[in-house]
Amino acid sequence: MLTATGLTKHFGGVVALDDAGIELVSGQVHGLVGENGAGKSTLVKILCGVLRPDAGTITIENHPVRLTDARRAAAHGVAVVSQELMTFGDLIVLENLFPHNRMAGKRELARRAAPVLAELGLSAPPHARVGTLPLADRQLLEICRALLQEPRILVLDEPTSTLPREAVARLEQTIRGLAKRGLAVLYISHYLEDVMRIAQRVTVLRNGRTVLTGRETTKVSLGSLVEAMLGEAIPPTTPTRRPTSNGPALHLTDVTTPHLHKVSLTATAGEIVGLAGLQGAGHLAVFDVICGRKHPTSGQVTLPSGTTPRSFRQAVAAGVAYISGDRKARGLMLDRPVWENLTAVRSLGLGRDGALPPRRPRQARAQTQATKLRISSDLTLPASALSGGNQQKTVLGKWLDAAPTLALLDDPTRGVDVRARLEVHDLIRDLAESGRPVLIASSDLTELTELCHRVLIFQHGQITAELTDATEQDLSLAMNAGFARPTNTKRNAPRQR
């Protein structure tokens, strides 16, 4: 269906792609993996016409094509779902699904969209403002819009990064159905097990070059895939130490909101507590209360500082760090230099460096943080130029710069590669071992088993189970059934991403 050979792309002196290639076949799902910065996004942008290669050829059905812009790529049957969401928050669902169709009535558009929305399990009302939808629904909306184009070639870049487990299973079923109908699907993900499960073939990029080309997934192991990505074997996972600090703790007592019912929990100093549940179960609503974004109708929240949060600004001033998985919208100033982002909370948000914080001390402090966090980039570049892994470490770094007393992490490794994931996990463990309570919510259940001392399961706004030394299967059962098997089993081997 589509063959790309010899693709090369330079950005100044940086080689993003170096003689890379890939072949997509009708009726097959082809996985593409690599570290952040390996060249995957550049390859995707070339295939969808956003970027033009400096060299190389692309053929579709054995005919050479020039994908000079997105419209021409779409005319050749290429549809792309980008990792960076391209929804319009001020427009309704139907206007996002059919952005160029102003002639048909909304009833007709809703009729066309209904089968695809149902197939993906997206129940958002067609006239709802997209900006009010959860991040997972917005990601499904992107996929729905691509499918409505009736493409021959579908490129999915990190399509499950924000989706709960049940939505992932539904999407995988849809992808298999599309392949059976003859589509060529390029599936890009850091979740390597998902790639191995859904794809028939896999290609690996490293430093802009293709180091493994179209290998059948039945003939490659997970370990060899990781080794091809990194150029070396993956180091063993560092175990999380048991908390030993007796410092200040976080307390929630009978907290009730429209999304929570009499929730009580404690996170002690040095403890990593996981929060898990299906979409809308209430575990993320806990973060809103602790951050001061929502006020409980009854009950009490006491931060490690001894105060009760009345607003987000007050919570941050009291030492709360909120690390969002939606780093583009809530974590970074994308158009500002990396060094400004790394010092933003302490210098700008908390004003600890005066009304006009001097530039040089901030840059020096940012460089210290970057070295500690292994952010391998020019700190004068805008944050938008960083890889996903370096962006997430920058979000962590700006909060660490403010010396928090409590850390809240929402999907902290969403969309980062296997090496960056290990580095972020080590930073989270260091944060806990320095005596701070840490709460983490993650759609990746293996992340919870690897990091957490215990995991609280939420259903319908209530804590229904508390698990220690749980396996991924234990967590899934508790989330879906409302109870958990008693378990004394050790943690599973780390899941590779």
Residue 242 lies in a domain: no
pLDDT in the model for residue 39: 86
Domain holding 201, by residue range, is: 2-230
Q: What are the tens digits of pLDDT across the range 227-236? A: 888 776 655 5
**Does 181 share its domain with 261?**
no
Angle of the 165-180 helix axis to the 106-120 helix axis, nearest 10? 100
**Does 82 share its domain with 135?**
yes
pLDDT in the model for residue 235: 58
Rounded to 5°, the CA angle 381-313-410 comes to 65
And the tokens for 410?
């929402």
Residue 187 lies in a domain: yes
pLDDT in the model for residue 481: 64
**Does 210 share its domain with 275?**
no
pLDDT in the model for residue 175: 86
Q: What are the tens digits of pLDDT across the range 234-277? A: 555 556 666 666 778 999 999 999 889 999 999 999 999 999 98
419: phi then psi, degrees, rounded to nearest 5: -70, -45
Name 269's Cβ contacts closer than 8 Å, sequence gap at least 6: 243, 245, 246, 247, 248, 249, 304, 435, 436, 437
**Does 41 share its domain with 182?**
yes
135: phi then psi, degrees, rounded to nearest 5: -60, -40
Residue in 415, 418, 409 with CA at minimum distance from that of residue 451: 409
pLDDT in the model for residue 280: 77
Name 217's Cβ contacts closer than 8 Å, sequence gap at least 6: 31, 195, 196, 199, 200, 201, 202
Statement: the pTM of the whole predicted model exceeds 0.75: no
- Domain boundary at 202, 230, 258, which? 230
Residue 148 CB: number of other CB atoms within 10 A? Answer: 18
Task: Name residues of the chain where pLDDT drops below 50.
Answer: 482-497
Strand, helix or coil for residue 380: coil
pLDDT in the model for residue 448: 92
DSSP string, 238-275: PPPPPP------EEEEEEEETTEEEEEEEE-TT-EEEE
How many Cα atoms within 13 Å fall on the side-chain side of residue 452? 29
**Does 452 share its domain with 356?**
yes
Name 258's Cβ contacts closer than 8 Å, sequence gap at least 6: 297
DSSP string, 343-366: TIIIIIIS-TT-SS--HHHHHHHH
In sequence order, the β-bridge partners of residue 4 are 22, 58
**Does 287 share its domain with 419?**
yes
Residue in 216, 230, 232, 192 with CA at minimum distance from that of residue 38: 230
H or E, element range at 342: helix 338-342
pLDDT in the model for residue 360: 87
Q: Counting beta carbons within 10 angstroms of the beta carbon of residue 137, is it exposed (0 to 12), middle (13 to 18) or buried (19 or more)?
A: buried
**Does 108 share its domain with 175?**
yes
Residue 487 lies in a domain: no
Distance CA 291, CA 308 (A): 10
**Does 272 share its domain with 376?**
yes
Residue in 168, 196, 238, 195 with CA at minimum distance from that of residue 494: 238
Residue 235 lies in a domain: no
Q: Is the dihedral of CA 42, 46, 49, 53 positive or negative?
A: positive
Q: What is the CATH number of the domain that holds 70?
A: 3.40.50.300
And the tokens for 172?
């995988």
Number of structural domains in the chain: 2
184 and 152 in contact (C-beta within 8 Å)?
yes
**Does 338 share its domain with 223?**
no
**Does 186 share its domain with 306?**
no
Residue 493 lies in a domain: no
Residue 241 lies in a domain: no
Residue 37 lies in a domain: yes
For 349-450, strand residue ranges (E) read 406-410, 438-441
Distance CA 149, CA 387 (A): 29
**Does 105 share its domain with 178?**
yes
348 and 366 in contact (C-beta within 8 Å)?
no
Residue 271 lies in a domain: yes
Name 238's Cβ contacts closer than 8 Å, sequence gap at least 6: 425, 426, 429
And the tokens for 252?
């929630």
441: phi then psi, degrees, rounded to nearest 5: -110, 135
Distance CA 17, CA 424 (A): 26
Residue in 406, 412, 410, 408 with CA at minimum distance from that of residue 394: 412
Residue in 388, 395, 379, 448 with CA at minimum distance from that of residue 418: 388
The one-letter amino acid code at 368 reads T
**Does 204 share its domain with 287?**
no
